[in-house]
Amino acid sequence: MSQNAVIIVAAGIGSRFGTNMPKQFLPLLGKPIILLIIEAFIKADAAIEIIMVINEQHKKNWEQIQQSYLHEINIKYTVGGATRTASVMNGLAMVNTPVVAIHDAARPLVSPDLISQCLDLCLTYDAVIPYIPIIDSLRKKDGPAANREEYILIQTPQTFKTQIIKDAYNNLIPTQQYTDDASVAEAAGYKLHFIKGDTGNIKITYDDALTRLILKRNS
């Protein structure tokens, strides 16, 4: 039995992506995007508990993928909430393992190596957060150029000792803005441990040229 679980947040409806079908169900490398993510986590930990957070409107899409590709694997799922925060909380309610990773379905090319590092380091640290450095010039829209060495780009999976992230989500401050799970844990007073992420772990969010090229070449 694994000590690890992963919540895959796949409750988006694709409004920003510009398609009728949410991006997590579109094909990439000949497979549904969501399947690539699940396979990566299983390669990192064959016994990992997988919890899907799905939009109510697209339960049938998920069930078809599960029946076609994953019928031999026990995968739990729950429906998402009105916000990403609510969706993550629904997923956390199903977690009973000591360590949990939270991963966005918009990152289909996450590597098993990065997943393994995050899970393993979370045995030592409360929260393990992957990042990549910024290589482009950075500036405020109406201000001077910023020192890009002071900034990083955050990725998922963000991995936590389960009790810590549950505690953090149970103590959300209504007036505070949370950009990701790491900011929830940090606001609750927990220290974050950052590790070098993977430049290939891109986020497919907007209907841009890069995304179209990836999907066209690999579908």
Give me the domain span that covers residue 186.
Answer: 4-218
Give the C-alpha distances (Å, rounded to integers) separating 169 from 86, 124, 125, 154, 206: 9, 21, 18, 19, 28
The domain tally of the chain equals 1
At 18-37, the pLDDT tens digits run: 455 566 777 677 788 889 99
Would you say residue 206 has pLDDT above 70?
Answer: no
pTM: 0.90
- What's residue 16's pLDDT? 47
Q: What tokens were used for 203?
A: 């986020």
- Which residues have a Cβ under 8 Å from the Cβ of 64 and sit 6 or more positions away? none
Supply the CATH number for residue 98's domain.
Answer: 3.90.550.10
The C-alpha atoms of residue 77 and residue 90 are separated, in whole angstroms, by 10
At 52-64, the pLDDT tens digits run: 999 888 888 888 8
